[in-house]
Structure 1
Amino acid sequence: MVPLCCNRTEDFGPRSSIHPHLPTSCFIDTVVVPLPAWILLGYLLISLPRRLNPQRGRRASSILKPTKPIENERAHTVEFGASPRPALHTRVLTGVYASSVAAMVAAVSVELAKLSKAKFGVGLVPFSYMGIAAVIANRLKWKTRVTRVENAAFWVLLGAAWTLKVAVQIMESDKAMVTADRKEEGYPGSSGIIVVSVMVGLSFALAVLEFAGWTGLR
């Protein structure tokens, strides 16, 4: 069985001996980075019955509301038809969103490749793929403002996790340069820090892009 973390500066632990205010890199890759995906998947699983049967919540709320005249209901149903084509800026932002998601997947793959090459173990970083897939499915299946907020929350949490990972990488890189015991392995190194920094920027950018076309959502 391949260990989740190996050959690292520190063992698994929520607190680093190098910097007591930060966790270890193994804890980051095993707990912190996949945590946003766990939260999103758990939330989607809990809310799945409500999503599959939204009429139940509507019927429950309609008991407290006065009934509308039949004429108003008929007039309202006539208004339904083919949805208008999204505005140009919305289509452009949607394209930017899709490109950013693809860039995020590529960056995660590069990070996994660097961890594997350094023989440090990948932790549970691959679980990020499941979180990204859940966001895409959530966005495509339920086109509502609530789902956009849920997705934005995931990206913000993921960005915070990557930010913490950058801080730990900088700390370990500085220690490696002083001790010169891992300098040849090249991880995290400047390239590794750059890759994770890119993921930080992409995460927060995607959180903002989730609100593109907000006015056209219900």
Structure 2
Amino acid sequence: MDMLTTTLSFENMHKHGELMVNLLRARKQSFIVQNNWDLPEVAGMEYDQYDTPASSWIAVHEGERVLAGVRLTPTTARCGMYSYMVRDAQKGMLESIPTHLLYEEAPIDPRVLDASRVFVARDVPAQRRREVQTRLMRKLIQTARAMEARQVMGLVPAVWPRWIRPLGLIAEPAGPVMKIDGQPVQVALMDLDRTRH
């Protein structure tokens, strides 16, 4: 079966069958079951306050089976008292994420996107992980550029330099390495203007 990458939004998710539901189910498996994070779930799907029409989601999938995913939210997004994950964490609105996650104040800029809920399914075999990561990041870059973004910021596993360099991506730390639920994480800022893809 061919591996595909799809960008989902509230405007197009109806064209992709159960893919959005399967993405949220894969997130539950990754974040709630495997990482043991205390997150909202319903009907086998993980979700939070940032899964709104302002966001887009990227799924790497074979048919309906989701291998990897990420959520992209403009840093200008607002929904009630929430904006985007990194900024709200910095403002002390998210108990599970420390407020000192950034070196500078979180941006509110139409050219900057927040990437969150990044995952590669644990059952993706080691020999296929690089291909899955590459497809996810290439689609992220393509989608971000289509949204006229110049930078993508995200709270990601602290091993991010190890897997983005071989992909030709240019990023830098935007905050310190921290532990969240025993996992080392860090905010990274990717510069799309300096990225080759």
TM-score > 0.5, shorter chain as reference: no
Greater gyration radius? 1
TM-score range, shorter chain: under 0.3
Larger helix percent: 1
